Structure 1
Amino acid sequence: MDAGAVDPLTLRAAARYRRKSLGQLRRLVSTSIALVWSADRRLFIGLVVLQFVAAALLVAQVLAVRSVLQAIITLGERANASGVIGWILVLAILTGLSAICGSLQTQLQRLLGEHVAHAMWNRVLGVSTKVGLRHFESSEFFNQLSRVQMSALSRPYQVTQGVLSMAGATVASVALGVALFSLAPVLVPLVACGGVPVLVASRRESRLEFDFSVQQTPALRLRSYFGMLQLGRDEAKEVRALGLQSWLMERFNGIYSSYLADLRNHVRRRTGLSVLGQVGASIVLGATLLLMVWLILRGSLDIAGAGAALVAIRMLMAQVQLVFRGAQSVFESGLFLDDLDDFLALGAQARDEDQGAVAPTSFDTIRVEAVTFSYPESPQRALQGVDVELRAGEIVALVGENGSGKTTLAKLLAGLYEPDGGSIRWDERDLSEFSSSSVRDRVTVVFQDFVRFALTATENIATGRIGLTVDPQRVRMAARSAGAEQALDGLPNGFDTILSRMFAGGQDLSGGQWQRVALARSFYRDAPLVILDEPTASLDPRAEHELFTTLRSALRGRTALFISHRFATVRGADRIYVMHEGRVVEQGTHEELIRIAGRYAELYRLQATVRVGGASHDGGEAVTTEHDDRVQEAT
């Protein structure tokens, strides 16, 4: 099912259904404990041991309180303070050890939490970098990803922490219950009921919290986006140039104010439920204490026993509530983890889809036959019955106006998407026979919106073939082929200069220089098929012409698909395909397309006229002459 088909109401309904399954709860707890165990088993064992030690210390404190009170009562009779002092020292030591144990638990929990978060980040990032690009066309995928980032990453540890808390509190409750039973058996059942109101309220709070998170995800994403627009380096110049500061702040504050209003209502509802639970627990506690007073009045409980019972009741009540709070943590986290499991399942789906033979390291012909394709959530087809052929060693150009489908076809050829209909064949074998990862390994793509990594120039180029030891000579050769070597050598630290001002010592490049670095990255990859999507968009006409004339030697026999909306750039291509509204409307060499006087010839003539006018205006004599010749030829 497409991720875009899932809406928040469906998600909440599914969550409510799953909450009713005890099997789901058992799976949730066992999976979370297994994750924490794999993250750091020594810390996990340490926390378990501390839970039992803490429980034993609580029981020991109750018994010590009783002994202190008995020693005080008999002090006047024996006139010996040594017994009292001894038991007071024991109680002080036990109290100190209990505090130390609690402090150790807090620090170990923090450390283990980071280990679990690290493991979960690896899982989430592993999914987000492996799922098909179709998911990134879905708004609900981004909603789910945002929820995972905001809350679900910490939930596996919270489930385990809840289970540990329940286990430790249960052990302490049993021990304290035995101690209290020895003092006043009738009080034990009443104290045990004290956590029930908290549990009932907590279950409802958990549902409210998950529903609120699902409901607010789109708004929180939008708020983050408006925040990013005001913080981003790339956006800073346009924000200032257009005077968008106040408008962006108003939008940000409007979304934030709406969220805060919803949050106030949510907190009010949760607080109300929490108060009801605590009131119920307090009523039970009050009834327990009244019963204890009645037992004292009838002589069933002496003063020392009463004092110890009072301490035991307070401790036992706290432990019982801790048991139910742990249950709440498990239930609440479980709702988020169901959401996380759905997200992680996409990774398994991606692995299942990445099956097939390994794509060959070379080919004679790639044929695109009657290919159709639509983006998710889009009613229109991006490609409609497209036929294209690429032969080994050729430079094939794909031209057309913006939105004609050029980049979409490039993504299909690169194995980033699968066609809805038709086929793409490598030497008569359908591309679907190969694993998509092996297909992508045989293709290098330079998109017009390529990534500018805030890394060194060497690393920017070497990302073209990650997995191999970086070869500085190969990096330099790729830069030379792309015409970037001289510019990179001129940087303060040469190829070791960070290409960003975000970090100390970094330097930025011009748009044209960055484009050459991206080209160098593609040459470094050394794949049999090279796809260059508007690789000259940031180059001036002369540099653009020089790049295309040297492209064949730089490719060293590899096949290239050169995508451009500048028709004059691709005159030397072996074959040119003209796209319009998702279809191939013409094909042939430059001369053949000019001769048939169709769409290519018309657009070529228009572009050449515009560029001649621009060159004359700038006083560029050499470029003007070149384009005058092209206009004469086109007309």
Structure 2
Amino acid sequence: MELKKINSLKNNFYALSLVWKMCPRIIIFLALSKLLYYFGWLFYSAFFMRYVINALQNGETFSAIMIFIAITVAIFATMALYNSFVLGYIKPTSDTEVNKKLYQMLFKKSCNVELECFENSDFYDKYTLAMKNADTRIIETVDTFFGLFFGFIASIFAFIFMFQVDKFSVAFIFLPIIGNFYFRRLNSHIEYQRNKEMAPHNRRIDYINRIMYLKDYAKEIRLTNIFNLLKRQYTDAITGVADVTKKFVLKSAFFHWFYVMFTFTFIFEGLLIYGAYRTLVSETMTLAQLAVITSMMVSTTWILIGFTDSVTASFKNGLFIDYLRTFLEYEEKIPEDYDGADPGNEIESIEFRGVGFAYKDIPVLKNLNMKFEGKKTYALVGHNGAGKSTIIKLLLRFYDPTEGEILLNGRNIKEYNLQKYRALFATAFQDNRMFSMSVADNVTLGENIPAEERDKIVTEALQLSGVYEKVMSLPQGINTTLTREFDDEGAVLSGGEFQKIVVSRAFARRCPIKVFDEPSSALDPIAEYKLFDNILKACKENTLLFISHRLSSVQNADHVFLLENGEVREEGTHRELMAKHGIYADMYEKQAENYLADKTKQTEGIWA
């Protein structure tokens, strides 16, 4: 527990230093705001009330009292003006500056960490927590820090002032301390347990609420009885929330009652009774002292409440800052900005030498030995899970092998400048993603292409992938926005059309190595044949590597690697592999039989 407190304190100081680097003025203004806030409470109760009452009792002139009140009003008016200036101008402009600089840091870091981080659920959870409202939460952390710091100092002064007036009255201050630090904490623990038990029910409610307004589910809801099932689940979830609420309601109400009584009632009523007795019965306290103690009681209570809130919030914010700090201070295994040797543009060979790879201690590739020579065509084939896509990820240095090495022109790829090395590749991934941008932007993906050449390159790429006519039928051609995320007139293409856009990316990029990962998975056989024919023609001057589960598309490759369970089981040309009558030949013949059977069914369907 003590270690957590120390770490939370360190994280708060880290947030302070981070914001200071980004925007020092917000630190200064927030600190001054908190200082003035607590100063106002102490000044009013400890000085203002004491002076006015003593002045009246001592027969001070009306003009002297009014001058003091006027000065006090001027001070508080200036403080109010300052707070308005901070809230109306300083904070909004500073928040914008912090937002810009902090997210630049976060985005830069997220682009620099290796792909493995995004596939590691623990790291990814912390990453998303660090990114969510990071700018507002880090400002809140700084504000809370100063609330904690000046609240602690103000609490000490409040004790001292009350002790000076009446040393026994200090005992009453322990009541709100017990209320805030004990009963409020117990109530917070109950709320945590309640929210924890409600979480599964709330997730179900959120899920159904989301389904009801997403277009992806609209057809099924209208064509089936799934709505009744969702309604039943929703009702069960609401009932579950109600049951959890009933379970904790008595405990929560009980501790909340004690919190209110100790924090407000006991100190207010108790101190008033104590002061009245001293003033009216024992006559050991003056009316001025009673007024000051009463005023100090109110100030001290709110100072302690503010201080307690800051303590609670600082631990809560400390956890968020810990996620932020962990992410920003993470040392990348494969940093995107790694600087090394220039690989040049000539590809003589790429070689996998004894490569092994394990993901979370589960072997994926074993003793892999493959060589790709420049300006030749290679195919990777095999069943799902054979390790084909993992080879591409290793080749692009999304991961590094756990065993062996990968060589480019005889040199370990780890020695090359990572950005320049990756610039050698144009890739079309199977698990493609489309951006809510124009068709042209989705093809070029931000490549630095001269404006006069851009349209020509995009057009050629779309023609090669077989989607040019479809794109030109759209309202604005290659400038049409894809998806309707931000544009109601945006285009929503079919799966096969989207895949062709993705393939166009590899055609558009000027580089020596082209990689196609299942480029035809969403295409019919005729479109697939045309696409592979275009790939082979357009990439004859490139080193070409493609993955395909349809063996009919690899017949023209210079060399085929068949993988099974992370190992190369067979390799050679299509003819050589067919002549072996091994795994490759068996797969090819079965696919051919299935294709002929499907074709026969289609023909019978036409004549039926």
Q: TM-score range by the shorter chain?
A: 0.7 to 0.9
Structure 1 residue aligned with 2:552, among 545, 559, 568? 568
Structure 2 residue aligned with 1:342, among 302, 305, 326? 326
Structure 2 residue aligned with 1:42, among 25, 30, 33? 25
Residue aligning to 1:395: 377
Matched, 1:412 2:394: yes
Deviations 1:358-406 (A, max 9, x none): 46134211122343333337x5x33333333211111211122333322
Distance 1:602 1:176 in 2: 87
Q: Secondary structure at the match of 2:369?
A: strand
Matched, 1:186 2:167: yes
Deviations 1:227-269 (A, max 9, x none): 6555555555566666544445655665676577667767876
Distance 1:216 1:418 in 2: 42
Q: Which amino acid aligns with 1:508?
A: V
Distance 2:403 2:139 in 1: 45
Out of 50-59 and 540-549, give the one that drifted further. 50-59
Q: Which amino acid aligns with 2:15?
A: S
Q: Which amino acid aligns with 2:477?
A: G
Residue aligning to 1:18: 3
Matched, 1:552 2:533: no
Number of residue pairs matched by the alignment: 595
Identify if the C-alpha distance between structure 1 residues 53 and 65 changes in structure 2 by more than 3 Å, giving closer, same or farther: same
Q: Secondary structure at the match of 2:332?
A: helix
Q: Which amino acid aligns with 2:490?
A: G
How far off its partner does 1:64 sit? 4.4
Q: Which amino acid aligns with 1:357?
A: G
Matched, 1:196 2:177: yes
Matched, 1:324 2:308: yes
How does 1:59-458 map onto structure 2 within 5 Å?
Answer: 59-62=42-45, 63-66=47-50, 121-145=103-127, 147-148=129-130, 155-170=137-152, 172-173=154-155, 184-186=165-167, 189-190=170-171, 193-197=174-178, 198-201=180-183, 231-234=213-216, 236-237=218-219, 244-248=226-230, 275-282=257-264, 283-297=266-280, 298-345=282-329, 347-350=330-333, 355=338, 357-358=340-341, 360-361=343-344, 362-376=346-360, 379=362, 381-434=363-416, 438-458=420-440
The answer (yes or no) to whether the contact 1:415–1:439 under 8 Å persists in 2 is no
How far off its partner does 1:497 sit? 1.0
Q: How much identity, in percent, do the aligned residues show?
A: 23
How far off its partner does 1:44 sit? 3.3
How far off its partner does 1:96 sit? 6.5
Out of 573-582 and 274-283, give the one that drifted further. 274-283
Distance 2:11 2:371 in 1: 52
Identify if the C-alpha distance between structure 1 residues 594 and 32 changes in structure 2 by more than 3 Å, giving closer, same or farther: same
Q: Which amino acid aligns with 1:29?
A: N
The answer (yes or no) to whether the contact 2:380–2:545 under 8 Å persists in 1 is yes
The answer (yes or no) to whether the contact 1:461–1:520 under 8 Å persists in 2 is yes
Distance 2:207 2:113 in 1: 23
Distance 1:560 1:220 in 2: 50
Q: Which amino acid aligns with 1:409?
A: I
The answer (yes or no) to whether the contact 1:392–1:559 under 8 Å persists in 2 is yes
Deviations 1:274-315 (A, max 9, x none): 554444344445444344334423444433443243223211
How far off its partner does 1:508 sit? 1.9
How far off its partner does 1:504 sit? 2.2
The answer (yes or no) to whether the contact 1:586–1:593 under 8 Å persists in 2 is yes
Q: Secondary structure at the match of 2:359?
A: coil
Q: Secondary structure at the match of 1:562?
A: strand
Distance 2:254 2:97 in 1: 35
Residue aligning to 2:473: 490
Q: Which amino acid aligns with 1:472?
A: R
RMSD between aligned alpha carbons?
A: 4.2
Q: Secondary structure at the match of 2:488?
A: coil
The answer (yes or no) to whether the contact 1:137–1:375 under 8 Å persists in 2 is no
Identify if the C-alpha distance between structure 1 residues 319 and 458 changes in structure 2 by more than 3 Å, giving closer, same or farther: same
Out of 195-204 and 526-535, give the one that drifted further. 195-204
Residue aligning to 1:501: 484
Q: Which amino acid aligns with 2:595?
A: R
Segments of structure 2 that go 5 or more residues without pairing to the other structure are none
Deviations 1:553-596 (A, max 9, x none): 32262212111111112211111222233332222222222222
Deviations 1:475-508 (A, max 9, x none): 3343344344333233211221101133222112
How does 1:521-600 map onto structure 2 within 5 Å?
Answer: 521-555=505-539, 557-600=541-584
Distance 2:125 2:199 in 1: 6
How far off its partner does 1:605 sit? 2.5
The answer (yes or no) to whether the contact 2:205–2:237 under 8 Å persists in 1 is yes
The answer (yes or no) to whether the contact 2:357–2:366 under 8 Å persists in 1 is yes
Distance 1:266 1:144 in 2: 30
Out of 594-603 and 270-279, give the one that drifted further. 270-279
Q: Which amino acid aligns with 2:146?
A: L
The answer (yes or no) to whether the contact 2:221–2:227 under 8 Å persists in 1 is yes
Identify if the C-alpha distance between structure 1 residues 596 and 224 changes in structure 2 by more than 3 Å, giving closer, same or farther: farther
Deviations 1:158-206 (A, max 9, x none): 3322222234435655666676566x14267436545532234566677
Identify if the C-alpha distance between structure 1 residues 555 and 237 changes in structure 2 by more than 3 Å, giving closer, same or farther: farther
How far off its partner does 1:327 sit? 1.8
How far off its partner does 1:600 sit? 2.3
Q: Secondary structure at the match of 1:491?
A: coil
Distance 1:448 1:229 in 2: 27
Q: Which amino acid aligns with 1:523?
A: F
Out of 426-435 and 208-217, give the one that drifted further. 208-217
Distance 1:215 1:466 in 2: 50
Structure 2 residue aligned with 1:54, among 24, 28, 37? 37
Q: Which amino acid aligns with 2:410?
A: E
Distance 2:425 2:578 in 1: 31
Q: Secondary structure at the match of 2:331?
A: helix
